[in-house]
Structure 1
Amino acid sequence: MAKIAIVGCGAMGSVYAALMASVGHAVHAVTLWADHAAAMRDHGLRVEGASGDRTVRLASAGTTTAGIGPCDLVIIATKAFDVAAAAQACTPLIGSGTVVQTIQNGLGSPEVVATVIDPDRIAVGVVGGFGASMRGPGHAHHNGLEMIRFGAFAGLPRERLETAAAIWDSAGFRTSLFDDLGRMVWEKLIMNVTFSGTTTLTGLTIGGVMADPDAWRVAQGCAEEAIAVAAAIGVTLEVGDPLDHIRRLGGKIPEARPSMLLDHRAGRRGEVEAINGTIPRLGRRWGVATPVNDTVVALIKAREAAFPVAADPETCPV
């Protein structure tokens, strides 16, 4: 069995932790949400949803990485804007054979981690179709387990990437390994771009956005701009018709609320810059007009400007 640290153990990280611990891996959860850490220590971690309903005991749960020591696998599962601090916190967890997996929405997180951690031990992860949320401290829920993909960021040997993926497979996840990181990341990003901003602005679920003609018109505009930017960059999307692909995946988790919507409802800053904001930034560079994503980003940032300044216990730096 493997020794695993999940740094940024919010909703998604809790799903990873529970399924891995349930098959015997020694899982150490790190979150600055003190009540969540305490609940996991005192009562175990409960995760319910598409994978069943289970309560597991973890090897440890705390608010820092102190005392954990080197691990076989380190999963950085924070929000994109917390990745730099998380990478710094992970340095005591790295031994000679450690693989570090970055799993964030949007683009750019692996490059940030690589400024702190040896690029040749980093794996890039893309997951989707989970629809994960926190029901309370020590209790997470998820709607699905659709997409789990990994690839080497730089010089991580294939056998070490496969060993890390085998840990996920042993816990019931279905992983795919990719050599083409651009394709891997963008096939997930177009899904995020479609639904994250529009659910945040409307308050609708993914299924609600697809069912509402006006909301879907905005979501489709976001998607079409992202697809056009990917084509301009030279990214090949091997999903058939991209809009059909987006609707098919969305149809599998119609009740899901993306993390950006959940953050917005809680008055927390979300990842709009890393997701929808990526499309205008790259569009300007490659000469692709992106008016829909520009508008979505501006509206969400205007709303966020009115939020009270407060630490996010699920996602702030660890």
Structure 2
Amino acid sequence: MPGGPARTGSLHLPLAGTPVQALPDPGPLRRPGGGPVQRLGLSPFHRLRPGPGTVGIRGIVKIAIAGPGAMGCLFATYLAEAGHQVALLDHDRQRARRLAENGITVEGIRGRHRARPAVTSDAASVGAVDLFMVWVKAYHTADAVELHRAAVGPDTVIFTAQNGLGNPQRVLDKLPAASVVAGTTTVGANLRAEGRVHHAGEGDTVIGAASPGAAAALDGIASLLGDAGFPTTVATDIAGAVWRKVVVNAGINPLTAILGVENGRLLELAPARRLMEELAREAVVVASGQGVELDEQEAVALVVRVAERTAANRSSMLQDISAGRRTEIDAINGAIAALGPAPVNRAVAELVRARERLAGGRD
């Protein structure tokens, strides 16, 4: 995400795990100061819906979060503080053991927070959860869902707000009957070290149904995230929201990674700015071909505004290149070029892949 050094989310191994004690059933959920919440049987999140004359229904929710990166650790910490039962799932057995022993520290805009959620690479030890959040890189989505599918039961709702295009479909390819909620977020965080997160900025989260069975869960998830400090809006056009974020990422991230510059430098270098704007225009045309109509002028202006607001920041793609990691170029500019005629997006995607190889992030 251009809001780096913050890393954000957006819509996407078979190791033995470090066992943790199975999370207990929270028992009957209760209204604030009142009796038990009626379980409607449609979705576990119906119990979180506001009822007539109430501020909102709150209860303990059992949550699994795949991916102990910046966003996974950030959400795990604040959701645990909100009183939910949180398990962090990691494909790396040794790292899971260290995180379980040392806990998670989040520092930044909300001060300093410490959390010790259950951490494991063995999803079976956690069991089926109410909410399964996917916070791995887009190219690891399918593997993460497959590895941790023991945490997904018939009533589990799967949430993805990762960067790029196609993440909900990657989930559904593995679990065709799943209830999948897609989203975008402008919350900013970066991983300073293992289990140490810098919360760089607050932001807005937008969610919507990515599968027919997910619509009933939206209000409850929005309430749950809001209570943890993540203001969340339910969108009727989640595809449009996802594409708008993709347009921004496509315009800024690859150029910063290729040039090795902070976001704001793209506005100061006339050739880079022209490329940034053309990347956005191409993305708008491709989105239209996918049935998502975006205003070209508004999209270009949005990319420029984000570059201005995050001028001093290093994009997540630049961070990945600098660290010798694989980037999410295939899910952003590469995905745009794969969906329609987008020669500039195709060219910059190839350049980023070349940078990855030079940096050792891709074979």
Partner residue in 2 for 1:69: 127
Structure 1 outlier segments of 4+, above 6 Å? none
- The question of whether the paired residues in 2 share the 8 Å contact of 1:143 and 1:256 is answered with no
Structure 2 CA distance for aligned equivalents of residues 239 and 218 of structure 1: 15
Superposition RMSD in Å: 2.4
Q: Is the 8 A contact 2:65 2:135 kept in 1?
A: yes
SS in 2 for 1:193: helix
Note if contact 1:129-1:249 (Cα within 8 Å) is conserved in structure 2: no
- Please say if 1:12 is aligned against 2:64: no
Name the counterpart of 1:123.
181
1:56 paired with 2:56, answer no
Aligned length: 304
Q: Residues of 1 paired with 2:99 and 2:140: CA distance?
A: 22
| Residue 310 (structure 1) shift | 8.2
What whole-Å deviation, never above 9, does each CA across 1:195-247 have from its counterpart, x for those lacking one? 11011112222233334433323222211211222234331337972222223
Alignment partner of 2:229: what SS?
coil
Judged with a 3 Å threshold, the aligned counterparts in structure 2 of structure 1 residues 63 and 50 are, in CA distance, closer, same or farther, namely same
Letter in 2 for 1:46: T
Matched, 1:165 2:217: no
Report the 3-state secondary structure (helix = DSSP H, G, I; strand = E; otherwise coil) of the residue aligned with 2:202. coil
* CA–CA distance in structure 2, aligned partners of residues 303 and 268 of structure 1: 10
Select the residue among 41, 44, 48 that pairs with 2:100. 41
Q: C-alpha distance in 1, partners of 2:327/2:150? A: 28
Contact 1:193 1:222 in 2 (8 A): yes
Q: Hey, what does 1:224 align to over in structure 2?
A: 281
- AA paired with 1:254? A
Shift of the alpha carbon at 1:274? 0.8
Q: CA deviation at 1:260?
A: 1.9
> Where does residue 314 of structure 1 map in the other structure?
none
**Superposition TM-score, scaled by structure 1 size:** 0.86
Match of 1:104 among 133, 149, 162: 162
Give the 3-state SS of the residue equivalent to 2:173 in structure 1. Answer: coil
Letter in 2 for 1:190: V
Q: Is the 8 A contact 2:66 2:88 kept in 1?
A: yes
Query: Which stretch shows the higher mean deviation, 175-184 or 27-36?
Result: 27-36
Which consecutive residues of structure 1, in runs of 5 or more, have no partner in the other structure? Answer: 285-289, 312-318
Indicate the residue corresponding to 1:93 in structure 2: 151
Partners of 1:207 and 1:255 within 8 A in 2: yes
Deviation string 1:164-196 (CA, Å, 9 cap, x unpaired) is: 222211100011112223212111111110111
Q: How does 1:219-258 map to 2 (within 5 A)?
A: 219-237=276-294, 241-258=298-315
Residues 22/252 of structure 1: CA separation in 2 closer, same or farther (3 Å cut): farther
Does the 8 Å contact 1:65/1:93 carry over to 2?
A: yes
Structure 2 CA distance for aligned equivalents of residues 309 and 217 of structure 1: 28
| SS of alignment partner, residue 125 of structure 1 | strand
SS of residue in 1 equivalent to 2:212: coil
Are the counterparts in 2 of residues 39 and 45 from structure 1 also a CA contact under 8 Å?
no
5 Å-filtered alignment, 1:129-208, equals: 129-130=187-188, 132-208=189-265
From 71, 77, 81, the equivalent of 2:139 is: 81
Report deviation, 1:57: 2.1
What whole-Å deviation, never above 9, does each CA across 1:69-91 have from its counterpart, x for those lacking one?
A: 11111001111111111111232
Distance 2:296 2:109 in 1: 24
Give, in whole Å, the separation in 2 of the partners of 1:223 and 1:53. Answer: 37
In structure 2, runs of 5+ residues without a counterpart are 1-59
Cα shift readout 1:39-72 (whole Å, capped 9, x = no counterpart) = 43223211122333312221x1123424111111
Aligned partners of 1:239 and 1:245 also within 8 Å: no
1:5-46 CA distance string (max 9 Å, x none): 110121121121122112222211122355653443223211
Instruction: Verify: 1:292 aligned to 2:325, yes or no.
Output: no
Question: Could you tell me which residue of structure 1 aligns to residue 8 of structure 2?
Answer: none
Higher Cα Rg, which structure:
2
